Amino acid sequence: MTTANRTRKNLEVQRSDHTTIRYTVSGPAGGPTLALIHGWACNRGDYDAVTDHLPEDYRVLAIDLAEHGESRSTRDVWTMEEFARDVAAVLEAESVDTCVVAGHSLGGAVAVEVGRLLPDTVSHVVALDALHYLSLFPALSEEQTDAMLSMFREDFAGGVRGLVEAGSPAGTDTALKASYFEKMVAVRQPAGLRSIEGLVHWDMDAALRATQQPITVFAIRDLVTGEAIDRYGDRFDIVPVDLGSHHFPVEAPEGTAALLAGVGTE
């Protein structure tokens, strides 16, 4: 059973370095808990419609990472590990004993780090079209890292456009791609560039070795490569889905909610 237009409470938690993490809570305190992490240059509002389609007994925490959405910070550290501490601060503030953590895109990397940071709290890690992009998520060579970061440092808008195109299967509506570009290119700076740097420098293989929870990756079918399956199929469960583009939680909220609810009841 789903609940339309859930009642949401907007809350915040304070961290060090003048960091205020804002988040939304809905659902009963005693229900299965799901923590939702948005992607790079996105915000927790991307999950509003998804949340409305989740079972009514679910407790849902949708979190704005630092300098995304309504969260603010003056910190200098923009690693995936530090973003994970943003999420951990919310889980602690809400006295969460156990939960599933799901992240879209960069949020998938953060979700892995939350699992590593809180092994006794996180029961399952879910990545929504994340972790399987071999040109971005695994640790890159020094040459690859320099090339990727130079692209964003020299032409930030061009780098953003490249990400949008890479996440758009053939036939994706041009206007839809344009809307994602406009949203993402407006990310707050310097955090936008710094968090891309943090992702590029992230060592996913080391993080995966240190993360014990099961990991499920829901990946757009047309964007999954056989190479990714061969490399990581024995470490996380890659489930191809046909729900749109890289931003499918926004495009197909009901289908996304069904996927998340399925993980929560395993």
**What range defines the domain where residue 30 resides?**
8-137+202-262
* Cα dihedral 69, 71, 75, 78 in deg (nearest 10): -40
- Residue 10's contacts (CB-CB under 8 Å, 6 or more residues apart) are 22, 23, 24
The DSSP output letter for 75 is -
Where helices occur in the chain by DSSP H, the ranges are 48-52, 80-93, 106-117, 142-154, 156-166, 174-185, 191-201, 204-209, 226-232, 248-251, 253-264
**pLDDT tens-digit profile of 202-239?**
999 999 999 999 999 999 999 999 999 999 999 999 99
Would you say residue 108 lies in a domain?
yes
3-state helix, strand, coil in the chain (%, to 5): 45, 20, 40
Would you say residue 76 lies in a domain?
yes
Provide the domain count of the chain.
Answer: 1
- Place 139 in a pLDDT band, splitting at 50, 70 and 90: confident
Strands 99-104 and 59-63: unpaired
* Backbone φ and ψ of 241, nearest 5°: -130, 155
Helix (H, G, I), strand (E, B) or coil at 166: helix
- Inform me whether the pLDDT recorded for 265 exceeds 80: no
**pLDDT tens-digit profile of 107-119?**
999 999 999 999 9
Q: Which amino acid is at 118?
A: L
**pLDDT tens-digit profile of 173-210?**
999 999 999 999 999 999 999 999 999 999 999 999 99
pLDDT at position 264, please? Answer: 54
Would you say residue 159 lies in a domain?
no
Q: Is the peptide bond before 253 cis (omega within 30 degrees of 0)?
A: no
Structure-block tokens of residue 86: 């943003």
Would you say residue 95 lies in a domain?
yes
Measured CA to CA, the distance from residue 204 to residue 140 in angstroms comes to 10
**Residue carrying structure tokens 């237009």:** 5
Would you say residue 196 lies in a domain?
no
Give percent of the chain above pLDDT 90. Answer: 93
Would you say residue 142 lies in a domain?
no
Structure-block tokens of residue 118: 């809180």
Would you say residue 106 lies in a domain?
yes
pLDDT at position 1, please? Answer: 44
Would you say residue 87 lies in a domain?
yes
- What CATH number did the domain enclosing 116 receive? 3.40.50.1820
Angle between the 156-166 and 191-201 helix axes, to the nearest 10 degrees? 50
- Which neighbouring-strand residues pair with 96? none
Predicted model pTM? 0.96
